[in-house]
Amino acid sequence: MERDEARRRFAAARVARLGTVTPQGRPHLVPVTFAVLDIPEPDGSIAFAVDAKPKTSRSLQRLRNLAEHPAATLLADVYDDDWSRLWWVRADGTARIVDHGPDFDRALDELSAKYPQYQAQRPAGPAVLVAVDRWRGWAAEEG
Q: Which residues pair with 92 in a beta bridge?
A: 73, 134
Contact yes or no for 89/11 (Cβ under 8 A): no
Nearer Cβ to a copy of itself, position 32 or 109?
A: 32
Interface residue list for a copy of itself (CB under 8 A): 14-15, 17, 19-21, 25-31, 58, 69, 71-75, 77, 79, 81, 83, 86, 88, 90, 92, 117, 136, 138
For CA atoms 108, 109, 113, 119, give the dihedral sign.
Answer: positive
Nearer Cβ to a copy of itself, position 88 or 104?
A: 88
DSSP label at 93?
Answer: E
Q: What's the min distance (Å) between Cβ of 75 and a copy of itself? A: 4
Question: Any alpha helices (H) in 13-127, and if so which ranges?
Answer: 57-68, 102-114, 116-120
Nearer Cβ to a copy of itself, position 26 or 101?
A: 26
Verify cis geometry, omega within 30 degrees of 0, for the bond prior to 123: no
Nearer Cβ to a copy of itself, position 64 or 69?
A: 69
Q: What's the min distance (Å) between Cβ of 80 and a copy of itself? A: 9
Q: What's the min distance (Å) between Cβ of 40 and a copy of itself? A: 26
